[in-house]
Amino acid sequence: MRTIFSPKHAGHSGQLELVAGALVPGFEKPSRAEYIRARIDAVGLGPVSEPATHDLAAALRVHAEDFIALLPKVWDMWTAEGKSGTALPFTWPTRGLRGDKRPERIDALLGFYSFDAGAGFVPGTWEAVKSSYDTALTAAELVDGGERAAFALCRPPGHHAGAAFMGGYCFINNAAVAAQWFRDRGAARVAVLDVDYHHGNGTQEIFYARPDIAVFNLHADPMVEFPFFLGHADERGTGAGEGFNHNYPMPFGTDWTAWSAALEDACAKLANYGPDAVVVSLGVDTFEKDPISRFRLTSADYPKIGARIAKLGLPTLFVMEGGYAVEEIGVNAVGVLTGFEGG
């Protein structure tokens, strides 16, 4: 399996995030990608290439134009106002406040276009975001060109980013961009299978009213886990998209037995949907030792995930999402890929 990976991801480094009342170093750090990159070499998964450069047209197919236009400007706007450190939002237009008036100051704009204080900007953030987007599209081109599967080693991740908002370490929704790109290249239907510990709220929001891109999310129960305000089982889609959004919220402590039952159900429904391609939002923060998650999958479980996805027999793009700074992230992420190859 070929991997696409950009060293430019490392520019997004040293950012702070707001957690439990404190500004702390971001859990989404460069070592995540480097652990996975090293494991790819260690097991001989296949060749690794840097992405081609793409314009932002594909991003504009799933994101609002004003949102995408802001992202490259954030750091310059932040420093132009005399600010330093990590660029983070100051206020959000919550219930009872106006969300139809776009403010002018950057700390307010960041709140206008985000849902948390986890997607901070430092000088190299935009270059990393753009390279992550390029990585997803370049890997999608491999699958569209006839390869059975490809791995987009994206960093930053993307599945929490919605049509006009960022958050949860995510800026551009790489998986959603790729799914739409497959549609634009002629796929009649596409499925997104999100196996990250956290609900892919951005992907759900983008495709919620559409029948041509079905979304399957396996994740921790939003009653007790981030992102909290989306991901319940009764969210089935709306309008023409009703019945094409599938959520599998699970409690803290979920192990392979319960989690794999949800995967089996999702894969059966996905196969019945009959897509021409599958985009897998590959999060491995379901791991028992992940520092910010509370599921109990072990390293031995991840190859079985890949093998089950392989049984679908469909062109498959793996897009890296979550899984945090423990060395096993490389073993687990690549375990899914080798399991797929073996399957």
Query: In this structure, what token pair is assigned to residue 321?
Result: 């999402």
Comparing CA positions, the residue from 197, 196, 126, 135 lying closest to residue 166 is 126
Q: Which residues, in sequence order, are CB contacts of 255 under 8 Å at separation 6+?
A: 295, 296, 297
Q: From CA 304, how far away is CA 292, in angstroms rounded?
A: 23
Q: From CA 62, how far away is CA 173, in angstroms rounded?
A: 8
Q: Kindly name the residue from 160, 198, 199, 246 that is annotated as catalytic.
A: 160
Four-residue CA torsion sign, 209, 133, 340, 218: negative
Residue 160 is among the residues annotated as catalytic for this protein: yes
Burial code (b: 16+ CB inside 10 Å, e: under 16) for 206-221 equals bbbebebbbbbbbbbb
Terminal Cα-to-Cα distance of the chain (whole angstroms): 13
Q: Are the beta carbons of 137 and 159 closer than 8 angstroms?
A: no
**275 phi/psi in degrees, rounded to 5:** -75, 160
Q: Are the beta carbons of 109 and 102 closer than 8 angstroms?
A: yes
- The count of other CB atoms within 10 Å of the CB of residue 238 is 12
Comparing CA positions, the residue from 37, 35, 32 lying closest to residue 3 is 37
Residues acting as catalytic residues: 160
